[in-house]
Amino acid sequence: MPELPEVETIRTRLAPRLEGRRLERVEIVDPRLTRPEPPEAIAAALEGERIVRVSRRGKYLVFEFESGRSLLVHLRMTGNVEHPAQGGLAADPYRRAVVRLDDGSDVAYRDVRRFGTWDLLEPGELEDYFAVRRLGEEPLERGFTTRALTQALEGRRAPIKAALLDQRAAAGVGNIYADEALWRARLHPLRPAGSLTAGEIARLRKAIRAALEMGIARQGATLRDYRDPEGRRGRMQDEFNVYGRAGEPCPRCGTPIEKTRAGGRGTWFCPHCQRLDPR
């Protein structure tokens, strides 16, 4: 599932090629993408819009238009945006939408599992949209302070891993980068979020940033479906310290990595470096 580093990699690739371009023709073939809005209505509304900025909020790709509207794309499990450097698009049974730009190139949206969403917002609706979804601070921006993270975790009995997954503490962190950040911070994933000390929260904040920055530097992680818009795989999967590595040695202490469940998701940690009952 694409997380902040994967979505940011897509954004970085798309922005210089899409900003300033006009959407000439839009075809949405999967009605699930725009539900409950009919796909033809969204397609018609998008045609003629000019992209002024491609941005990102958490795991959302945000296409901001000259009109003040914005299209929010969430890739969910297997969504992917394709914009080949040259040549047209190859045939693809999982293609859900195609946008023809005014430079003659096509941007395609592909989604095998079909959980991805496209939401078209009117001018001024963006802030409310994210507020309703209780999206937390952008972890790579200045607002993600130890104080902000402390407030987001205060009084919460949920395991810290689950708290990181629900987007309120830090927008864009998912299963992979939560496990990697907790390992870096030497925090057990099942520790109650509200039980972390000031020092531990400071460590966690730094660890979240470091894990995400590493993911961006490696252009994201390709476990199955994720590709950048030109079809290239990420390389972060070669850098995992704990994620998916049950039984392999912890890179820090050599203890075999263990797997548990937290927040309904497979969760990997080092039982030596990440104690449930820290001294």
- Using CB under 5 A as the binding rule, whether residue 252 contacts Zn ion is answered as yes
Catalytic residue selected from 3, 49, 137, 200: 3
Catalytic residue selected from 11, 56, 57, 59: 59
State yes or no: is 2 an active-site residue: yes
- Which range binds Zn ion by CB under 5 A, 18-26, 29-37, 66-74, 246-254? 246-254
Q: x/- string (CB under 5 A) for Zn ion, residues 71-100?
A: ------------------------------
Closest residue to Zn ion using C-beta atoms: 250
Catalytic residue selected from 84, 265, 271, 275: 265
- Using CB under 5 A as the binding rule, whether residue 259 contacts Zn ion is answered as no
- Using CB under 5 A as the binding rule, whether residue 253 contacts Zn ion is answered as yes
Q: Total binding residues for Zn ion by CB under 5 A?
A: 7
Of the two residues 98 and 273, which places its CB atom closer to Zn ion in the complex? Answer: 273
State yes or no: is 59 an active-site residue: yes
Q: ∠ CA 273-198-245 to the nearest 5 degrees? A: 25
- Using CB under 5 A as the binding rule, whether residue 14 contacts Zn ion is answered as no
CA 170 – CA 173 distance, rounded (Å): 6
Binding residue (CB under 5 A) for Zn ion from 250, 267, 268, 269? 250
State yes or no: is 16 an active-site residue: no
- Using CB under 5 A as the binding rule, whether residue 270 contacts Zn ion is answered as yes
Q: What's the min distance (Å) between Cβ of 258 and Zn ion?
A: 10
State yes or no: is 8 an active-site residue: no
Does the CA dihedral 26-29-34-39 come out positive or negative?
positive
Q: What's the min distance (Å) between Cβ of 257 and Zn ion?
A: 8
- Using CB under 5 A as the binding rule, whether residue 242 contacts Zn ion is answered as no
Of the two residues 205 and 245, which places its CB atom closer to Zn ion in the complex? Answer: 245
Beta carbons of 6 and 76 less than 8 angstroms apart = no
Of the two residues 198 and 253, which places its CB atom closer to Zn ion in the complex? Answer: 253
- Which range binds Zn ion by CB under 5 A, 10-18, 20-28, 31-39, 264-272? 264-272
Q: What's the min distance (Å) between Cβ of 183 and Zn ion?
A: 8
Q: HSE of 95 in the Cβ direction (CA atoms, 13 Å)?
A: 15
Q: Which of 95, 93, 109, 103 is nearest to 51 (CA)?
A: 103
Task: Please give the positions annotated as active site.
Answer: 2-3, 59, 265
Residues that bind Zn ion (CB under 5 A): 250, 252-253, 255, 270, 272-273
